[in-house]
Amino acid sequence: MVTHKYSECTRSVYRAIMERTCIYRRPLMMGFFLAVLAAFLFISPSWSAAASDQDNPIEIGHVSWSRDYQGALQASRHSGKPVFLFFQEVPGCLGCRTFGSQVLTHPLLVEAVEDEFIPVLVYNNRRTGMDAQLLKQYGEPSWNYQVIRFVDANERDLIPRRDRVWDIGSLAARMVAALKAADRSVPLYLSSLAVEYDTSHLQTAVFGMYCFWTGEYELGSIAGVVATEAGFYRGREVTLVTYHNDQLALKVLIGEAEDRQCARTVYLNDHSTAVQSRLKIKQFEPNEYQPAPASDQKKQLQQWLMDHRNLSLTMMQLTKLNSFLAGDPEAMLQWLSPRQLAQLGSR
């Protein structure tokens, strides 16, 4: 069933706004750290600045869109890339404008749309020409909120149509699914983006240790860890770890900390304190935690970031680069997108 946009417009705006922080959305405990780290390391605080010279209407973001549907099908047939078919209202309501300005300006998302797909824009509020024809062909309502279809060269949906895909994480996850359905490789930067923004599966654990620089370095490299933060809990050094609980079980995370001998105590929320471990398991009280100063965050990476201060990075990329820079530079570079790598090479 297709739902008309105006019954959902307020939710669309709310969810999109909640996605925006100075770097990316994180658990509330990390908000302060993100702002300070952005200022200290000169990381761009706003994704819109990355492509401020774009002439696109606000509703369609910073993607370079094609309006040649038949040409896109031909390009898809030749390259094997899926068609990214974007039905949007232009000019649109506040929800449509928010989606364009908050989601389709994300540089990694824009890169994936342009490089891994054939992007085509369809106006859903035009009554003639190609737009009206495609609305009828695909059964899309006019004057509706944004809908994205992923189709192959034979105009078949690669994954089922879905309403209410209004945030970065949901869109990135569907892009990953579409690429897999088309038997295309999924770039790590895109799959990581989907994981980082899958907020329903993000949880935290706080590890007490002798050195939080070591904690960020060791724990950040674990598969399924999304972010780390150096901090203090009851006056002692700790590392706050954000992890994706569908990719990394808590007991595995704690086991890795044990094996790496970088933690003595783990502080957990109520629902997880029953975990068995050689580490001391204690209850976590959020009001007794505070982030360490920016000068203590991502210590392994600080000089590198100063040398590449114009490079925009996600919190997950920062975490992985901090863990791999010293010991495995090749693994570090795998976390960057082709355009980010080109930016490094052009220095």
Claim to verify: residue 84 and residue 178 sit in the same structural domain: yes
Given a cut of 70, whether residue 185 has pLDDT beyond it is yes
What is the Cα–Cα distance from 116 to 263, expressed in whole angstroms? 41
Domain that holds residue 239: 199-296
pTM beyond 0.85, yes or no: no
Per-residue pLDDT tens for 306-340?
Answer: 999 889 999 999 999 999 998 888 889 999 999 99
The count of residues in the chain is 347
- Quote the pLDDT of residue 272: 62
| Residue 237 placed within a domain | yes
Final residue of a structural domain among 276, 296, 316: 296
104 with 131, same domain? Answer: yes
Q: Which of 2-16, 88-102, 121-135 has the lowest mean pLDDT?
A: 2-16
Q: CATH number, domain at 237?
A: 3.30.1060.10
Q: What local confidence, expressed as pLDDT, does residue 109 receive?
A: 98
Lowest mean pLDDT among 38-52, 249-263, 333-347: 38-52
State how far the Cα of 219 lies from the Cα of 254, in Å rounded to an integer.
10
Mean pLDDT of 223-230: 98
Q: What are the phi and psi torsion angles at 246 (to 5°)?
A: -90, -15
- With 0-12 / 13-18 / 19 or more C-beta atoms within 10 angstroms meaning exposed / middle / buried, residue 22 is middle
Is 215 found in the same domain as 137?
no
**Average confidence (pLDDT) over 6-26:** 35
Beta bridge partners of residue 282, listed in sequence order:
267
The answer to whether 118 and 83 have CB atoms below 8 angstroms apart is yes
Q: What is the pLDDT of residue 273?
A: 59
Q: Do 258 and 148 sit in the same domain of this protein?
A: no
Shared-domain flag, residues 243 and 139: no
In which band, very low, low, confident or very high, does the pLDDT at 180 lie, cut at 50, 70 and 90?
Answer: very high
Asked whether the CA dihedral 113, 117, 118, 124 is positive or negative, the reply is negative
On whether residue 266 sits in a domain, the answer given is yes
- Domain end position, chosen among 158, 186, 214: 186
Rounded to whole angstroms, the Cα distance separating 45 from 320 reads 20
Q: Sorting pLDDT into bands at 50, 70 and 90, what band is 344?
A: confident
Q: How confident is the model at residue 25 (pLDDT cuts 50, 70, 90)?
A: very low
Whether 243 is in a domain gets the answer yes
As a whole number, mean pLDDT of residues 22-34 equals 40
What is the chain's mean pLDDT, rounded?
86
Whether the CB-CB separation of 164 and 8 falls below 8 Å is answered with yes
Section 296-301 average pLDDT: 96
Mean pLDDT for 139-164 is 96
* Helices 94-102 & 9-18 angle (0-180, nearest 10): 20
pLDDT for res 45: 32
Is there a single domain that holds both residue 164 and residue 261? Answer: no
How many C-beta atoms lie closer than 10 Å to residue 241's C-beta? 27
Q: Indicate the DSSP class of residue 4.
A: P
Domain CATH number, residue 17: 3.40.30.10
In a domain, 271, yes or no: yes
203 and 179, same structural domain? no
The per-residue pLDDT for 210 is 94
- Specify if 120 maps to a domain: yes
With 80 as the cut, is the pLDDT of residue 229 above it? Answer: yes
Number of neighbouring beta carbons within 10 Å of residue 170: 18
* Number of domain units in the chain: 2
Return the top range by mean pLDDT from 37-46, 66-75, 324-333.
66-75
**CB-based contacts of 340, cutoff 8 Å, min separation 6:** 189, 311, 313
The pLDDT of residue 54: 59
Residue 177 and residue 75 share a domain: yes
- Provide the pLDDT confidence category of residue 5 given band limits of 50, 70 and 90: very low
Same domain for 133 and 104? yes
Shared domain check, 291 and 241? yes
Rounded Cα gap, residues 247 and 225, in angstroms: 9
Look at residues 184, 190, 159, 188 and name the one whose alpha carbon lies nearest to residue 172.
190
203 lies in the same domain as 160: no
Q: Please tell me the predicted confidence (pLDDT) of residue 4.
A: 41
Q: Are residues 17 and 141 in the same domain?
A: yes
